Amino acid sequence: MREVLLGADPDVALSKRAVTALSEARENFMDVVHPGGTLITRTPGGQVRWWTWAGHRANATLAATLGTVAAPAQRVNDCWIRLREDVDRQHWKQAVADVADQLCLPDVDQRAVKGLKFGEALPTRLAQATLAMRFADLEGARAVLEEPVRFVILTPS
């Protein structure tokens, strides 16, 4: 996602509508994408987000792993992870030091456990562990943690 937002065109034929949508996305996300790594942004309202562009599974893994700096009870998405408002460079450095070797599996929603095929035949903890492994992207999370991070204060446009 990040490469496309930075200007790389996907290796497929694009319709006029797709070309327009890509152009709009590149303009809309210009402030939160960087070729040299990921960004942690702070809005004037105090919201702090780590723009990983890593995808849902990697972000879920990272949010579970970075519990000391990740905002609790957040909805994970493909683009960013919401961080606590008091996170600064020092907090960040402490939180990510050696964390790549200690990745955690993402939390699993109870509705997903109930929806698991043959879930009634499994003990709850085994069903949760099974789904957590399916939802995790340990390799993607490690790759994001190896990238440089820039801190940016966003200003209203």
Q: How far apart are CA 77 and CA 57, in angstroms?
A: 8
157 pLDDT tier (thresholds 50, 70, 90): low
Would you call 86 exposed, middle or buried from its count of C-beta atoms within 10 A (0-12, 13-18, 19+)? exposed
**Structure confidence by residue, pLDDT tens digits, 71-102:** 998 899 999 999 999 999 999 999 999 898 89
Tokens (6 digits) for 87: 């996170």
Count CB-CB contacts under 10 A for residue 4: 14
* pLDDT of 108 strictly over 90: no
Residue (of 93, 83, 90, 3) closest to 41 by Cα position:
83
**Structure confidence by residue, pLDDT tens digits, 1-32:** 999 999 998 899 999 999 999 999 999 999 99
Percentage of the chain exceeding pLDDT 70: 99
CA distances from 78 to 2, 51, 88, 98, 145 (A): 11, 9, 23, 24, 16
DSSP string across 90-109: HHHHHHHTTGGGS--PPP--
- Quick check: pTM over 0.75? yes
Count CB-CB contacts under 10 A for residue 70: 21
How high does pLDDT run on average in the chain? 92
